[in-house]
Amino acid sequence: MLKTASRRENTISPLTNFALNGGFIVLALACVLPVVLVIVVSFTHNDSLLSRGYSFFPAKWSLIAYESLFKDYGTILRAYGVSVGITAAGTLLSVLLMALYAYPISRQDYPLRPFFTFFFVFHDAVQRRHREQVHRVHAGTRAAGQLSVAYASAAHRPV
């Protein structure tokens, strides 16, 4: 007879289990509620949206957005077609270029293999470092901008 693996009991304390479940519920709501809001807003009348703003409980419901969507479906279909075409072309081009690059450097007898391998590794390292520098500069600019706004607002406060 085949032995089945014994199941271990939950070793997390009830309080920790409750806290983890609560945290996961909050994360799930943070993911689901924006989608629900977009769906509700799509059924909200424009006047209600302009006067009251975004709300989970709109004052006036409407199908105007969907009427205009289905009335001018050619533009939407063309946009989806362009998106799908660009995605397919980009994917095919990427796979083709990677195959054309990978095949020669996989050959042991290829004379330029060390050069192309070094080029790939060096290019990747340079690109990664450049991304890190851009991120640092962007984060510093953003922090400096927030800091200058804070100083400017503090300087203009009435005493």
For residue 151, pLDDT beyond 50: no
CA distance 71 to 96: 40
For the chain, percent helix, then strand, then coil, each to nearest 5? 75, 0, 25
Residues 6+ apart with CB under 8 A from 41: 49, 54, 58
**Looking at the domain assignment, is residue 5 inside a domain?**
no
Do 77 and 59 belong together in one domain? no
**Looking at the domain assignment, is residue 4 inside a domain?**
no
**Looking at the domain assignment, is residue 8 inside a domain?**
no
For residue 153, pLDDT beyond 70: no
For residue 24, pLDDT beyond 50: yes
The mean of the pLDDT values for the chain is 82
Do 48 and 63 belong together in one domain? yes
String of DSSP letters for 43-92: TB-HHHHHHH-S-SS-SSB--HHHHHHHHTHHHHHHHHHHHHHHHHHHHH
Query: For the chain, give me the number of helices (H) and strands (E)?
Result: 5, 0
Do 138 and 99 belong together in one domain? no
CA distance 151 to 141: 15
Do 94 and 116 belong together in one domain? no
What per-residue confidence (pLDDT) applies to 119?
Answer: 81
Total tally of structural domains belonging to the chain: 3
44 - beta bridge partners? 61
The residue out of 106, 126, 151 marking a domain boundary is: 106
Report yes or no on whether pTM surpasses 0.75.
no
Q: Tens digits of per-residue pLDDT, 54-108? A: 888 888 888 988 888 888 888 889 999 999 999 999 999 999 998 988 888 888 8
Mean pLDDT of 8-35: 92
- Structural domain including 151 reads 112-159
**Looking at the domain assignment, is residue 6 inside a domain?**
no
**Looking at the domain assignment, is residue 11 inside a domain?**
no
Q: Residue 143's closest CA among 155, 131, 154, 151?
A: 151
CA distance 53 to 100: 53
Do 96 and 58 belong together in one domain? no
**Looking at the domain assignment, is residue 128 inside a domain?**
yes
